[in-house]
Amino acid sequence: MLKRMWRFIVLSLIGIPIAHALTLEQTIHETIQNNPDILVSQKDHRSIQEALKEAQAAYLPKLKVNLGYGIENDRNVNTQVLPDPSPTMAPRETTVTLDQMLFDGFATQWDVARNTARVSSAAYKVLATIEDTVQKNVEVYIGVLREKDLMDLAKQNLAFHNAIYKMIELRTQSGVSRRADLFQAQGRLSLARSNVLAEISNLKDTQANFYRTIGLAPENLNNPPHPNSKYLPSSVMEAISIALKNNPVIKTADADINAAVAQHNFAYATNYPRFDLELSANRDRNIGGVRGASFEEYAKIRMSYNLYNGGADISKQQETAFQEQQAKDIRQRAIRQLVEAVKLTWDSLITARQQLAWLKAHQQEAEQTVKAYAQEYQIGQRTLLDLLDSQNELFSAKRAYVQGRYEVLLAEYRLLRDMGLSIAALNLTKDVVLPASA
C-alpha cells in the first residue's frame, strides 16, 4: 500500500493538460453582437448618420403642392357690382412652389461639416466601447482560467497531503512514527482542504462574473495565446506614440473639436444675407368673389437679412467659441490620462515579465527540492514531514508562477487596449464592429 501511495505522490507532481474548446475570440464576437453598451453606441452612430443626411438635404430644392377646395362667401369691391353683393362660391386653389437655397451664409456647409464630425465621433465611441468591452472579456476569461488552474493545484496539494497523512498514520499505528507527527500532518491536511474550498469559491465567483459579462457559460475554455508580437511595442515611447495615433478616445476628441469648430463657424451665418430662388405656379377658380379661373406664375430671388436680433447672434458666437476651446481642453486632458495609463501599463508589463522569469526559476528549484527530498527519504535521510514541507514550498511556487503567467497576459492585453489595437489584434472585422451601413 505504501508503494501505491508513493507512486501517487510522484505522479501528482506531473500536470495533466485539459482539452478546451471555447476561444477568447468566440466570446468577444458573441459579446459584440449582444452587449447593451455596444448596441447603444451603435444606434447612436446610426442616428447621427441620419442627422448628417438631414443637414445635407438643405442643399437640395424643396417642392411643395397646396390644394384647396371649399365654400366661400365674399363681400368686397369685386362683388359690389354683382346682383348679389355677397355671393357664395366654391373656390378651388392649386399652387406648386419650388424653393432652392442659393446662399445661406455658409450655414449649410458648416452644418454638414459639424454632423460629419459627429458621425466620426460616434464611430470612434463605438470603437472605444468595444475596446473596453474586449478588455473586460479578456479579464473575466483569463480570470476563470487562472482560478481553474489554482483550484487544480490546490486539489493536487490536498491529494499529496492526504497520501502523506495516511502513510504517517500507518507508521504511527505500527509504532514507527510519533503521534506528534500525525497531529502535525493532520493539521496541514486540514489547511489543504480549506485551501481547496477557498479556490472552489473563487472559481465560482469568476464563473458568475464570466456569465454576467459575456452571457455564456464558461465551459471548455481555451487558453488564449499571447498577442502577436507585431502589435506589442518595444519601448514605452513607442507605445505612447501608437496610442496617440490609434486610441479611439483621442480620435473621438479630435472629431469633437472638428464639430465644435464647425458649430462656431455656423454661428456666423447670420452675419450674411440669405438668397433663395422661388418658382411658383397658381391655378385658382372662384377666388376673392370673382367667378372663373385665375392664373399666376412667378420666379423670384428673395433676399432676407437679419440686421439686428437683440444681440442673440453675438452671444451665440461667443458661446460656441467657448465650446470650441472646451473641446480642445478635453482633448488635452484625454491625452494626459492616456499617456499616464500607457506608462502604468507598460511598467506593470515589464515588472510582470521580469518577475515571471524568477517565479519560473523558483518553481523549477522547488520541484528539484521535492525530487531530492523523495530520494533522500528512500534512504532514510528525510522524514515524511520533510516531504510535506517541500511540497508546501512547491505548491506556493506553482501558485505564484500561475498568477504571474496570467498577469503578463493581462498586462499585454491592457497595453493593446490603451494603444487602441485590441480589435486589430483579435482580427475583428469592421462589419462586426460597426453597423453595415457605416
Please provide the DSSP assignment of 211-237 as one string: HHHHSS---SBPPPPPPPGGGS-SSHH
What three-state secondary structure class fits 280? strand
Buried b (16+ CB within 10 A) or exposed e, 6-21: beebeebeeeeeeeee
Q: Which residues contact 319 (CB under 8 A, 6 or more apart)?
A: 267
- Find, among 307, 323, 310, 216, the residue nearest to 263 by Cα: 323
Please check whether residue 262 is in contact with residue 138, taking contact to mean a CB–CB distance below 8 angstroms.
no
Going residue by residue through the chain (438 aa), what tens digit of pLDDT does each one get? Answer: 444 444 444 444 434 343 346 888 888 888 888 889 999 999 999 999 999 999 999 999 999 999 888 776 666 656 555 555 556 767 788 899 999 999 999 999 999 999 999 999 999 999 999 999 999 999 999 999 999 999 999 999 999 888 887 877 776 777 666 777 777 778 888 989 999 999 999 999 999 999 988 888 888 888 888 999 999 999 999 999 999 999 999 999 999 999 999 999 999 999 999 999 999 998 877 666 566 677 888 899 999 998 888 899 999 999 999 999 999 999 999 999 999 999 999 999 999 999 999 999 999 999 898 888 888 878 877 777 878 888 889 999 999 999 999 999 999 999 999 999 998 888 876 555 554 444
Cell readout for 126 is 463605438
Q: Give the span between the Cα atoms of 120 and 429, in whole angstroms.
A: 18
Burial class (CB in 10 A: 0-12, 13-18, 19+), 58: middle
Domain ranges of the chain: 2-433
Task: Give pLDDT, residue 288.
Answer: 60
Task: Give pLDDT, residue 177.
Answer: 63
Q: Which fold has domain 2-433?
A: Outer membrane efflux proteins (OEP) (1.20.1600)
Please check whether residue 223 is in contact with residue 20, taking contact to mean a CB–CB distance below 8 angstroms.
yes
| 39, 136, 202, 336, 346 from 132: Cα distances, Å | 14, 6, 24, 18, 18
Task: Give pLDDT, residue 51.
Answer: 96
Please check whether residue 438 is in contact with residue 45, taking contact to mean a CB–CB distance below 8 angstroms.
yes
Please check whether residue 163 is in contact with residue 189, taking contact to mean a CB–CB distance below 8 angstroms.
no
Task: Give pLDDT, residue 180.
Answer: 75
| 26, 40, 54, 90, 324 from 248: Cα distances, Å | 23, 17, 26, 65, 20
What three-state secondary structure class fits 185? helix
Cα angle 368-371-376, degrees, rounded to a multiple of 5:
120
Task: Give pLDDT, residue 432.
Answer: 56
Task: Give pLDDT, residue 11.
Answer: 43
Please check whether residue 317 is in contact with residue 362, taking contact to mean a CB–CB distance below 8 angstroms.
no
Q: pTM to 2 decimals?
A: 0.81
Determine the length of the chain: 438
Task: Give pLDDT, residue 83.
Answer: 57
Cell readout for 436 is 453595415
Task: Give pLDDT, residue 48.
Answer: 95
Q: Give the span between the Cα atoms of 247 and 415, in whole angstroms.
A: 11
| 122, 225, 244 from 336: Cα distances, Å | 22, 31, 10
Task: Give pLDDT, residue 1.
Answer: 47
